[in-house]
Amino acid sequence: MEWHACLDEYEKLVVRMSTPRVVIDNAVCPTATLVKVDSARRHGILLDAVQVLTDLNLSIKKAYISSDGQWFMDVFHVTDLNGNKLTDESVISYIEQSLENTHPDTSHGFNGLKALELTGTDRIGLLSEVFAVLADLQCAVVDAKVWTHNGRIASLIFVKDCNSGSPIEDSQQIDKIEARLRNVLKGNNDIRSARTSISMAVTHTERRLHQMMFDDRDYERKPILQHKSDLPVVTVQNWVERAYSVVNVQCKDRTKLLFDVVCTLTDMQYVVFHATIKTSGDKAYMEFYVRHIDGTPISSEPERHRLIQCLQAAVERRASEGVRLELHTSDKQGLLADVTRTFRENGLNLTRAEISTTSDMALNVFYVTDAAGNIADPKIIESVRKKIGLANLKVKELPLIYYEKAESEAQAVGVGGAVLLSLGSLVRRNLYNLGLIKSYLEWKLQERFDSLVGKWHVL
């Protein structure tokens, strides 16, 4: 009896030692909430923690990661997307419970729905054809994410039967869906590398997209767009005395950036022993001390070059430069096919998409460029909005080039006019995003008018 009691106590001790300890502190830092995680070290535990935070759309401003023997400690400085500390007790409680789980559920499953995994060569109108096929086969899209990079596309699409609203289980129907979609992906130019598969999506959706594009070797392909600004700078060097490989990443800061980098390091079988992450303005600086799972550093120049390529690709996949459009409307059969066909007919290319439905309402996010990958003409954007519905489809985010152009115009008209122009543009941009300015074209015309007013003030 005493022997069994000792075993029970030992098992309890093992559980306590392996369960992460989480402390959330709002008092230490004046500008961010500190999330501290202490745990036994295992492969992938850093990614688990980052996934929990980024899935809540939290911004990680700083992070310090360190391991000592078999113990691991993370400290994250986080805010919400508005730059505020975390005050919602339900959010804080969720973070604590999720991080204390040694294997948090981050699969993002959808009640047993099948997930369609598609990879192939990107082209204008491809998604329109995909959604048209699904509508024709009586498949309703419940949730989907689509990424494009270096001329390749990867998508994860959750579907159900339009008529019954249930998961699609019929094997013949599944085979038919796969065959039709494979033909669409092949087109005329992608006979070998177009792939379709059906999964139960047990992996985190965005991690799976990274894996799909990695398997497709998008990092080796020649970039389609040569004019992109703020390309990530990645360096890899060996610290011979400590048997570490030191990975530095410098790029424009954005949401989920740390997740994308850590996800790639983890899936490439690197273990992060120490790391420092800092952000300053719109820039992010990340330094990782890594080894292979077997404890060795990077051993060859080809491996070093491959890691650099893969990390650059991981950063770029989510960094869309197109105009962000948000569609919020009642869901109906064929909605995505109709919307994406309108994009295609007006020469707009989808570079990224996030599709979701809640209580028969569709909330879809699209990033669009013109056919050549350049910034879309505002007149075309406005025309598409009118066809789909001005109240339903709204411009939520403009590419950086618009702001850079406005700044250059402001500098050209002098200090006094620049202040008026800058403040006027900022106010109108926010009013437009809130739907209080009727037309994007009206906004651009008003900007031109303010430019003239600015020049008048200078004179």
- Rounded CA separation 76/56 (Å): 14
Q: Is the CB of residue 229 less than 8 Å from the CB of residue 293?
A: no
Q: What is the pLDDT of residue 43?
A: 87
Q: What is the pLDDT of residue 350?
A: 93
Which of 198-202, 211-215, 258-262, 382-386 is predicted with the least confidence, judged by mean pLDDT? 198-202
Q: What is the pLDDT of residue 310?
A: 97
Q: What is the pLDDT of residue 69?
A: 76
By CB atoms closer than 10 A (0-12, 13-18, 19+), residue 378 is middle
Q: What is the pLDDT of residue 189?
A: 72
Interval 389-435: pLDDT, tens: 999 999 987 665 554 554 555 555 454 444 444 444 444 444 444 44
Interval 269-300: pLDDT, tens: 999 999 999 999 999 999 999 999 999 999 99
pLDDT band at 74 (very low <50, low <70, confident <90, very high): very high
Q: What is the pLDDT of residue 424?
A: 47
DSSP string, 319-381: ---SEEEEEEEE--TTHHHHHHHHHHHTTEEEEEEEEEEETTEEEEEEEEEETTSSPPPHHHH
By CB atoms closer than 10 A (0-12, 13-18, 19+), residue 87 is exposed
**Residue 458 predicted with pLDDT over 50:** no
Q: What is the pLDDT of residue 257?
A: 96
Q: What is the pLDDT of residue 421?
A: 43
- Of 119, 172, 176, 165, nearest to 142 by C-alpha is 165
- Rounded CA separation 85/55 (Å): 17
In the chain the domains, ranked by start, together with CATH numbers, are: 2-100 (3.30.70.260), 114-220+321-388 (3.30.70.260), 233-317 (3.30.70.260), 398-458 (no CATH)
C-alpha torsion sign, points 335, 340, 346, 352: positive
pTM as predicted: 0.83
Q: Is the CB of residue 128 less than 8 Å from the CB of residue 341?
A: yes
pLDDT band at 165 (very low <50, low <70, confident <90, very high): confident
**Residues in Cβ contact with 385 at an 8 Å cutoff, skipping those fewer than 6 apart:** 325, 393, 394, 395, 440
- Of 305, 262, 266, nearest to 287 by C-alpha is 262
**Residue 266 predicted with pLDDT over 50:** yes
Q: Which of helix, strand or coil describes residue 292?
A: strand
Q: Where are the beta strands (DSSP E) in 204-269?
A: 233-239, 244-252
**Residue 330 predicted with pLDDT over 70:** yes
- Quote the percentage of the chain above a pLDDT of 90: 63
Interval 50-64: pLDDT, tens: 999 999 999 999 999
Determine the Cα angle at 222 with ends 221 and 224, to 5°: 115
- Amino acid occupying residue 333: Q
Q: What is the pLDDT of residue 19?
A: 76
Interval 97-141: pLDDT, tens: 999 886 665 555 567 788 999 999 999 999 999 999 999 999 999
**Residue 344 predicted with pLDDT over 90:** yes
> Torsions phi, psi of 222, nearest 5?
-70, 130
- Start-to-end Cα distance in the chain: 96
- Of 318, 321, 325, nearest to 343 by C-alpha is 325
Please give the torsion angle defined by the CA atoms of residues 214, 219, 221 and 225, in that order, rounded to the nearest 10 degrees. 120
> Which residue reads 């700044």 in tokens?
407
- Rounded CA separation 313/298 (Å): 19
Max mean pLDDT range (157-166, 198-207, 221-230): 157-166
- Quote the percentage of the chain above a pLDDT of 70: 77
Q: What is the pLDDT of residue 452?
A: 42
Q: What is the pLDDT of residue 90?
A: 94
Q: What is the pLDDT of residue 67?
A: 87
Q: Which of helix, strand or coil describes residue 252?
A: strand
**Residues in Cβ contact with 429 at an 8 Å cutoff, skipping those fewer than 6 apart:** 398, 443
**Residues in Cβ contact with 114 at an 8 Å cutoff, skipping those fewer than 6 apart:** 158, 159, 167, 168, 174, 198, 199, 200
- Rounded CA separation 62/451 (Å): 39
pLDDT band at 223 (very low <50, low <70, confident <90, very high): low
Average pLDDT, the chain: 84
Q: Which of helix, strand or coil describes residue 45?
A: helix
Which of 67-76, 164-173, 193-202 is predicted with the least confidence, judged by mean pLDDT? 193-202
Q: Is the CB of residue 348 less than 8 Å from the CB of residue 370?
A: yes
Helix count (H) and strand count (E) of the chain? 13, 16
Q: What is the pLDDT of residue 14?
A: 46
Q: What is the pLDDT of residue 373?
A: 86
